[in-house]
Structure 1
Amino acid sequence: MAEATDDVEHIGIVLETSDPERAWNAFRFGITALEDGHDVSAFLLGEGVEAEEIDDEGFDVRDRMEAFDDAGGELLACGTCLEIRNGEGSEMCPVSTMGDLLEVVTTADRVLTIG
């Protein structure tokens, strides 16, 4: 494992799946990065906008999303993807645009895509 540095990085996470374990792990990673002092933004795209509604006994995705939000992570959800699914944004995860995704990706030092 690489030695940790004191440099703060901005990490972007693009979540494109509603798979419970993958979504749960994405937010676990985000929380770990926040606890290590990094700035983290997560953009929910495609099926990823369904993450708040995942109901799985083994993987409490909503709990991890709330912990990510409480730790200072930024959550954004694609408005078009929500509209296609007759969904809405929430206080924790507001409706966002492709412009917001572009900003997450272009300002991040590293981008992790989970699909």
Structure 2
Amino acid sequence: MSDSGSNADLGIVLETNDPERAWNAFRLGITALNAGHSVSVFLLGAGVEAEEITENEQFDVRDRMELFADEGGELRACGTCLKMRQSDESEVCPISTMDDLLNVVMASDRVITIG
């Protein structure tokens, strides 16, 4: 089983490519990081498309993702979901597995799903 890093206070499973919902998920993650919490975000299903949401000026998801990572947040994407969409991992978001998602869920104090 792969290691998803340290335990998180908050685990966020993002399962949508809706610009506003994805943007708000990362805003929550950044807010929690700034409050001193550790946060892991796992992109699943359509959520793996979040980094590609660039056409929406009001909800700059890629910017929020980069800030989340810069602030120390852990970000991973489902490899199977990426493969189904013929996408690759990015520098900000590496490919992960269901074992990694399980680790996020089991190691987090709280887990929310945004879909």
Fold match by TM threshold 0.5? yes
Residue deviations 1:24-52, cap 9 Å, x none?
00000000000000000000000000000
Give 5+ residue unaligned stretches, structure 2.
1-7
* Structure 1 runs (4+) greater than 6 angstroms displaced: none
TM-score (norm 2): 0.91
Same amino acid, percent of matched pairs: 71
Which residue does 2:107 correspond to in 1?
107
Give 5+ residue unaligned stretches, structure 1.
1-8
Which residue does 1:14 correspond to in 2?
13
Asked whether 1:35 is paired with 2:34, we answer yes
Larger radius of gyration: 1
> In the aligned structure 2, how far is the partner of 1:58 from the partner of 1:66?
16
Which residue does 2:45 correspond to in 1?
46
The aligned length equals 107
Q: CA RMSD in A?
A: 0.7
SS in structure 1 at match of 2:112: strand
> In the aligned structure 1, how far is the partner of 2:91 from the partner of 2:53?
17
Deviation at 1:57, TM superposition (A): 1.6
> In the aligned structure 2, how far is the partner of 1:73 from the partner of 1:61?
15
